Every structure is written in structure tokens, then in C-alpha cells.
């Protein structure tokens, strides 16, 4: 009976490859297998009776209320041309360097990641704004598309990330469950704020690696990066004023500092900080005179669509996990992990590899809601730190976003890139950044303190 749980998981992957919606696939496959199990008297229908209470708990979850608020904040900042002003100003600031535009794209991508928290939105925005400019200036298509895809995925790891909000909520339940299974009846908790704090240093390291790579390309492969004309550099320096720089940088930086700072310093929960961010983005749009009926309607529609998608997938995943548990899938996974060579290290490597491969066909939302609740309690019961595990999962999924041929970031950029940019150039351009992210995973594995130090300092 336990192997029916694994067969159900494989069926979900197969149906998704056929192109069916994720949420309906999860729920439909679970109900189909539950019906078979009830017919052959190998599945207790009482497991399905827990579904209404579980769904009520999902919809009543205060942490998940941060999702629509962060989405609103990101969509409003995107529509109010904050990103466009940032990119133009940063390009002027670093214009004296041949690789200055690439560095500007990296830094603006980092700031957008801290604003939108959504990979697709960042990749599309940067692709529309910066790719034509980079190609016009003579940057190679491979390098241009690679840096845009890589910086676009920073929204997966740099807080306030939607991925970390969802992952934090799932890991919190998994951590409590793991402690109860170990006989600890006053369990510790892990919060979204812990994951935000744990992601700060790895996110900054990743941005630094990207910039160092850009500088390395300029030094060792100058054909990929054009030399700037001295007259153009002089024009950029004359166009850049202190007022222009401050007006472009200070408002978004203040908003991000208010949102992230209030969470890290304990003044606000992620949900409360998301409300502050949404209101701040609205005020910025008014200040920039970009708030009108068309923009507000588009932002509201984007917020409703993304939020509905997240919660519908969560409902389908809740049904899937109930049926998976009813077939004894959790006991099977626990037994398999216990028998793996290498103990907790071997189990962690296998889980990371499986999640990396699943990232080709599943979005981070599906993996967070379906896979993490299955494997996280077992790994946490084996002694792993929940914050470290959460950040490792986030970086791992970020890497899968870039990996050809199914990386989601590649599809996003392919959709907005000019037809003159070949798909092979996009694939070639992301390979160095995949290697960089794999190196970061190895570094975090060897020095877990890079993840756990800041949460321990802030929260003890």
C-alpha cells in the first residue's frame, strides 16, 4: 500500500507534463487514488474528513496573508516605473566602466528582487528594460541574457521573497511535527522572519559573485563586452546629478528598509510589514504621478491572479498530502531515508537532487506545498537546522529556474526577448551562473553559519 503513495506522486508528475493545471492535477490525482483505495479497502476514508478543517486552517493563516500584500507591492512598484528609473540612473552611475551596464543590471535586479519577490516579474521586467539596451551597446547575446536570467531569479532568495514566505509557513509546521515525533512536547518554532534573516548573507554573497563574474568577463573575455566611447562616458557623467541619483535610489531603498528592517528587528510580523510595503508602494506611485485607473486596475488584477493561483495550489496540495499520508507514504519516505548510506548527509543530498530535478517541471510553489511537507519532517527529525534547510531548498530551486532546457526563467526571457536572440544563446549564457549557484550551495553546506549566524544574532 505504501508504494501506491509513490505511484501517486509519479502520476502527478506525468499528468503535469501533459499540460494540465497544477492545482487540479494535485487534487484530481489524489481523489482518483483515494477512490481506488476505498474500493479495495486499503485506504481509510476518514483521512478525507480532515480536509475541511485543514482548508479552514489554510485560509485562516495570518502568515499567508502576506502573499497578496507582497504581490501588490511588487506589482505597484513595477507599474510605477520605479525599475526603469533605477536602471537608467544606475547605468549612468557605472557608465565610466565598460562592464558598467552589466553591474547596473545586477544591482537593479537585486533591488527588484527585494521589491517584487516574484521571479517571473523580475525576469520579464529586466528583459524588457535592459536586454535591448545591452544588445544595442554591443554586449554578446549570451552574456546579456545570462545576467538578466540570473539576476531575475534573485527574487527566490533575497527577502522579502514570496518563496520564503510560503517556505517558512510549511517549514514551521514540519519543524513542530518533527519535534513531536522525537517526543518533544513543547516544540520550538521557526518563522518567516528567521528565513528572511538567514537569506540575507547568502543573497548578498550571490550578488557579489555575479558582479565578480561580470568583472572577470570584462578582463578575460573582452569580446563579450564592448568598449565605451570616451565621449559617451563624458555625456553620462554630465547627465548624472546628485538629485537624480537620490530621487531614484532613496524612495525604493527606504521602502525596502522599512519592510525588511521591521521584520528583522521584531517590530512587525511579515504580514504587518507586507501591509506597510503595499501602502508604501501606493504612496510612491502617487508621488511619481503614476497612479491612475489603468495602472491600479492592472495591479489589482495581477494581485488577484497570483494570489488565487497560490491558494488554489495550496488547496490541491493539502488534499494530495492527506491521501499520501493515508497510504502510508510518510512512513515509507522515513524508512527510505533511514536506510540511505551516509545517514543525514546522504538523505540531504538525495532530497536536494530530487528537488533540483523536479524544478524542471514544477514551480517552486508546487514543490513547497507538495514535496517539502513530505521530506522536511524526516530531515528535521534527523537533526538538521530548519533555517539552514529552508535556505538550501530556496537556493536549490533558484538554480533549477536557470537550468536548460526547462528552466522557468529561460521561458520567461524567451517570451520577451527579440527573435534575433537565439534560444541556444540563452542556454549558453546561464551556464556560468548555474555553476556559481552550485558553488554557493557547496559553500553553505561547508559553512552553515553563513545562514544561521544572523538569525541567532537577531532572535537569539
Q: Is 19 left (phi over 0), alpha (psi -120 to 50) or beta?
A: left
Domains held by the chain: number:
1
From first to last of its 460 residues, the chain has per-residue pLDDT tens of 667 888 888 888 788 778 788 788 888 998 999 888 888 888 888 888 888 887 887 778 777 788 888 888 878 877 777 777 887 788 788 877 788 888 888 888 888 777 665 666 677 777 877 888 888 888 899 999 999 889 888 888 888 778 888 888 889 888 888 888 777 777 778 888 889 899 999 999 999 999 999 999 988 888 888 887 777 777 777 777 788 888 888 888 888 888 888 888 878 888 888 888 889 888 888 888 888 888 889 889 988 888 888 788 888 888 888 888 888 877 777 777 777 777 788 888 888 888 888 777 677 777 888 888 888 888 888 888 999 999 999 999 888 878 877 677 887 788 778 888 888 888 899 999 999 999 999 999 999 999 999 999 887 7
Q: Is the peptide bond before 160 cis (omega within 30 degrees of 0)?
A: yes
Which three-class secondary structure state does DSSP give residue 248?
A: helix
Residue 311 in contact with residue 58, Cβ under 8 Å? yes
C-alpha cell, 46: 476518514
Alpha helices by DSSP H, listed for 80-191, are 82-93, 100-116, 119-137, 141-152, 162-181
Quote the DSSP letter at residue 105.
H
State the Cα–Cα distance between residues 332 and 320, nearest whole angstrom. Answer: 16
Q: Using alpha carbons only, give the angle 195, 196, 201 rounded to the nearest 5 degrees.
A: 100
For residue 305, give the nearest of 313, 317, 295 by alpha carbon: 313
C-alpha cell, 294: 489603468
Domain with 77 in it = 2-459
**How far apart, in Å, are the Cα atoms of 331 and each of 11, 66, 328?**
20, 33, 6
State the Cα–Cα distance between residues 308 and 384, nearest whole angstrom. Answer: 33
Q: Dihedral of CA 296/299/302/306: which sign?
A: negative
Q: Compute, in degrees rounded to 10, the torsion defined by CA atoms 316, 318, 320, 323.
A: -140
C-alpha cell, 421: 536572440
Amino acid at each position: 500500500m505504501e508504494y501506491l503513495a509513490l505511484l501517486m506522486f509519479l502520476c502527478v508528475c506525468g499528468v503535469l507534463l501533459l499540460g494540465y493545471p497544477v492545482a487540479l492535477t494535485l487534487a484530481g490525482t489524489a481523489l482518483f487514488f483515494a477512490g481506488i483505495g476505498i474500493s479495495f479497502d486499503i485506504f481509510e476514508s476518514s483521512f478525507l474528513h480532515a480536509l475541511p478543517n485543514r482548508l479552514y486552517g489554510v485560509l485562516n493563516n495570518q502568515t499567508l496573508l502576506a502573499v497578496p500584500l507582497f504581490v501588490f507591492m511588487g506589482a505597484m512598484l513595477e507599474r510605477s516605473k520605479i525599475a526603469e528609473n533605477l536602471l537608467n540612473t544606475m547605468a549612468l552611475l557605472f557608465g565610466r566602466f565598460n562592464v558598467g551596464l552589466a553591474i547596473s543590471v545586477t544591482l537593479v535586479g537585486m533591488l527588484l528582487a527585494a521589491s517584487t519577490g516574484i521571479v517571473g516579474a523580475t525576469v520579464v521586467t529586466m528583459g524588457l528594460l535592459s536586454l535591448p539596451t545591452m544588445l544595442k551597446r554591443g554586449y554578446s547575446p549570451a552574456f546579456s541574457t545570462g545576467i538578466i536570467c540570473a539576476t531575475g531569479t534573485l527574487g527566490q532568495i533575497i527577502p522579502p521573497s514570496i518563496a520564503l514566505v510560503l517556505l517558512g509557513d510549511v517549514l514551521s509546521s514540519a519543524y513542530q511535527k518533527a519535534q513531536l515525533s522525537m517526543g518533544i512536547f513543547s516544540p520550538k518554532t521557526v518563522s518567516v522572519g528567521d528565513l528572511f534573516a538567514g537569506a540575507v548573507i547568502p543573497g548578498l554573497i550571490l550578488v557579489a559573485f555575479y558582479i565578480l563574474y561580470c568583472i572577470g568577463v570584462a578582463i578575460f573575455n573582452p569580446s563579450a563586452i564592448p568598449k565605451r566611447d570616451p565621449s559617451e562616458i563624458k555625456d553620462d557623467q554630465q547627465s548624472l546629478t546628485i538629485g537624480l541619483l537620490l530621487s531614484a535610489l532613496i524612495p525604493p531603498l527606504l521602502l525596502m528598509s522599512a519592510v525588511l528592517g521591521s521584520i528583522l528587528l521584531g517590530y512587525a510580523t511579515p504580514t504587518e510589514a507586507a501591509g506597510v510595503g503595499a501602502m508604501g508602494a501606493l504612496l510612491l506611485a502617487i508621488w511619481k504621478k503614476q497612479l491612475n485607473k489603468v495602472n491600479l486596475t492592472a495591479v489589482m488584477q495581477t494581485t488577484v491572479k497570483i494570489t488565487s493561483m497560490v491558494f488554489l495550489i495550496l488547496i490541491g496540495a493539502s488534499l494530495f498530502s492527506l491521501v499520501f499520508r493515508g497510504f502510508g507514504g510518510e512512513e515509507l519516505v522515513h524508512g527510505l531515508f533511514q536506510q540511505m548510506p551516509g545517514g543525514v548527509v546522504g538523505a540531504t543530498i538525495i532530497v536536494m537532487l530530487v528537488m533540483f530535478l523536479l524544478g524542471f517541471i514544477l514551480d517552486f510553489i508546487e514543490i513547497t506545498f507538495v514535496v517539502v511537507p513530505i521530506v522536511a519532517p524526516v530531515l528535521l527529525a534527523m537533526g538538521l537546522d530548519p533555517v539552514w534547510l529552508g535556505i538550501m531548498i530556496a537556493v536549490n530551486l533558484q538554480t533549477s529556474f536557470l537550468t536548460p532546457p526547462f528552466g522557468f526563467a529561460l521561458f520567461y526571457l524567451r517570451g520577451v526577448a527579440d527573435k534575433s536572440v537565439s534560444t541556444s544563446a540563452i542556454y549558453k549564457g546561464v551556464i556560468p551562473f548555474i555553476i556559481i549557484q552550485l558553488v554557493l550551495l557547496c559553500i553553505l553546506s561547508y559553512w552553515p553559519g553563513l545562514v544561521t549566524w544572523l538569525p541567532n544574532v537577531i532572535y537569539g
